Structure 1
C-alpha cells in the first residue's frame, strides 16, 4: 500500500472461494431498520482524525485487498486517520478472530458476509451502529441499509448471474431457462453444493416451476433434469475460466464474476455475465459491523462506515471486485459496469433469500444437491 497511514497486522494466504461456503448459523430475517432523521451533516463525517487509529478486519482475498485500497486508503488520505488492517481467510475466520478476542478490544470495524454478522450479533459481540450518523445511507435503498437484527450496515451486494460464452452465444440469455436448453447439453456448469449459489439456484428453479423457498420440491425436480447435461460443477473458478477460453463451456450459473475478476475482463476468455433475467437474479447482502468491544473512537468508526458508502468509493469497489454497489448513485467505471448489475437491476430484479428460513433447511438441501449431481 502506498499510503503510509495503513498498516497490515497479518497477511494470511488468500482463499477466494472459501468465504462463499455456507456457514451454519441461527440466522434471522433481515430487518430493515428505520433511519432516524435528520442525518448528521456530511461535513461532520469529514473532520480531521489525524492522530487517531482505526483497526479494520476484512477478507484476505481480492475483496479484502480492494477494501484496503479503495476504502481504507482513501479514508486515511481524506481524514489523516491511521488504519491498522488485519485480514482473515473468509467470514468464518473473521468470526473466529472476534470470538477469540472475547471482551478484549481488538477491532473497530469488520466487513463480512451476512451469516457472520448474524452469528456475531447472536453471540452478543456486536453493537448497533447509529444509522443517523451515516448520511450516505440516504442513497441506499431501504432494504439494503441495515440487517442482521440491526447490527449490520449493508455495504456491497454479492451478486450471482449467468456466465455465458460471448463467442459461442449470439446474445446474453434473458432467462435462467437457458440452462435447460438442450442445445447447451454437455456444455454448461452449475455451482458446487457447498456454495450458497447452489441453494439459491434451487430457489430460483422452484420459483420457475410454481414453487418457492418454502416449497422447494419443484426446484429439485427441475434441477434433476440437468443431471446428465452438465459438464462440471464449478468448484474451481480458474478451471471454469479456462474452459470458457478453450470453448468447452457455453453457459453456467448461477455464479458471480467476482470469482474471476481478472480473467472475465480479458477478451480471450470469452466470458460475459448477465443479470437481466426475467426471473431476477440472486444477491446476498454483505455487511459492515462494529464489535461491542472496540478500541477506537465512535465518531471515527461511523465516519469510516459512512465513507464506505460514498458513491465514488462504492463505484471503485464494484468495479474492482465485481460486486453490486448498494448506493444507488454509485459511480462505476465503464469497464466495471459491464460486469456488475446497474442500480435499476438491483432495484427491480435482485432476489435476496430468507436467511432465517434457509438456516433450518440448508444442510438437507446441500445433501440433496450433492447426491443429485454426484451419482
Structure 2
C-alpha cells in the first residue's frame, strides 16, 4: 500500500500571494483614481476640435485628464437616463432640442456665474432656460451655392423660389435639424411677420414651402449626396446649408461658397451642460468655463468655421459680422417636430 504524501503549505505564503495578486489587480484602479478625470459626452464629429483645442486648454488649467466619449446627442441623453443614480459623465455636449427633455427629467445642473464665471460674457440668446445650458458655438445656416454656375451669390432666401431655378434647388429634409430654417423662413416670407412670430405660423410656412416643388432637385437626409449634386453643377443652391460643411468644402478646393441672405441667418444648436449628480462637479464646471473662454472660443470658431458665443472672442475672417442671427424656439420645435416631419413627407413628396 502506497504511503500518502501530505504536502504542507505555509499559510503565510498563501496570504502573501493572495495579497500580491489583489494589489496587482487594484493597481490600475488606484492609479486611475489618483489621476483626476472629467468625462465629457459629445458628438463623434467633435472629437478633433475637443482633442486639439479644448482638452489641452482644460488639462493645462485644471491639472486633469479630459476623457471624450463621441456618439450622438440622443445617445448621451440615454446614458444620463440609465445612470441617473450613479452618473459617470460630468459634461454633455448636445443639440438644444435634446437638452429640453434632459432638463424636464432633472438630469442637468444649472450653470451659474459662481460655477462658470465666463458665462457672463456670452452673447444674448445663447443661455437657455435660465442657465440650464449654454451654446459654445454658433455654426450658422445660409445658402450654399456653386459659383461656377452662379457667379453672383444669392442675396435673399426668396431667390430659391424663382422659377428660373426649376429643378436646381436642394433642400434638407425636416428630419435634418438644418431643414427647419427653410420652414421658418417660408413663414416669414409669406407673412412678413418678425421671425419670432413667423416660426410659430406653421400653416403659412407649409403653404409657401410647397410652392418650391417645381424648383426642387432633391430633398436630402444624407448631406454628402447634396454636396455631390451641388459640386457637379446639377444643383445650383442648397438652401439652409451649415457653414461648417460648406466652408470646409470650399477650403478643400470644391466649387462651393455660402451666402448670407439679407433676411438674416440661423444659428445651429450647439449646447453644453453640466450633468446633475456627476462625479468631479468642479472639473465639469471648469471644463465649461474654459470652453467658453475668449481664447478657446477664438480658436474654436476659426477651426469650425462658426461664430463664437463669447462676445469678446475674435470672429474668423469671412464670417458674417453684421447679419441678423435668428434664434429658434427649441421647446416649440420639440413639441411639434414629429407632426411637421409627417406633414413634410406628405406635402413635399416629389
> What TM-score bracket applies, with the shorter chain setting the length?
0.7 to 0.9
- By how many angstroms is 1:148 displaced? 3.7
- By how many angstroms is 1:129 displaced? 2.0
Larger of the two Rg values belongs to structure: 2
1:103 to 2:85 alignment: yes
- Would the alpha carbon gap of residues 369 and 297 (structure 1) be closer, same or farther in structure 2, given more than 3 Å must change? closer
- By how many angstroms is 1:136 displaced? 2.6
Query: Tell me, what secondary structure is at the counterpart of 1:255?
Result: strand
Query: Tell me, what secondary structure is at the counterpart of 1:273?
Result: strand
Query: Tell me, what secondary structure is at the counterpart of 2:114?
Result: helix
Residue in 2 that maps onto 1:282: 266
Question: Partners in 2 of 1:204 and 1:214 — Cα distance?
Answer: 11
Q: Deviations over 1:299-324 (max 9, x none)?
A: x3222211111223223222333333
Tell me which of 202, 211, 226 is aligned to 2:183: 202
CA contact (8 A) 2:47 2:70 kept: yes
Q: Deviations over 1:53-91 (max 9, x none)?
A: 212111112x23322321112221344221122222x11
Question: Partners in 1 of 2:241 and 2:314 — Cα distance?
Answer: 24
Residue in 2 that maps onto 1:257: 243
Equivalent positions of 1:120-269 (< 5 A) are 120-144=102-126, 146-210=127-191, 212-259=198-245, 262-267=248-253, 269=254
| Alignment root-mean-square deviation, CA | 2.2
Query: Tell me, what secondary structure is at the counterpart of 2:173?
Result: coil
Residue in 1 that maps onto 2:329: 354
Question: Partners in 2 of 1:75 and 1:258 — Cα distance?
Answer: 24
Which moved further from structure 2: 226-235 or 130-139?
130-139
How many aligned positions are there? 312
- Ranges in structure 2 where 5+ consecutive residues have no aligned partner: 1-33
Divergent runs of 4+, >6 A: none
Query: Tell me, what secondary structure is at the counterpart of 2:170?
Result: strand
Q: Deviations over 1:22-68 (max 9, x none)?
A: xxxxxxxxxxxxxxxxxxxxxxxxxxxx953212111112x233223
- By how many angstroms is 1:332 displaced? 4.5
Query: Tell me, what secondary structure is at the counterpart of 2:106?
Result: coil
CA contact (8 A) 1:76 1:82 kept: yes
Residue in 2 that maps onto 1:46: none
Query: Tell me, what secondary structure is at the counterpart of 2:143?
Result: strand
- Would the alpha carbon gap of residues 209 and 297 (structure 1) be closer, same or farther in structure 2, given more than 3 Å must change? closer
Question: Partners in 2 of 1:230 and 1:288 — Cα distance?
Answer: 36
Tell me which of 267, 281, 285 is aligned to 1:302: 285
CA contact (8 A) 2:73 2:95 kept: yes
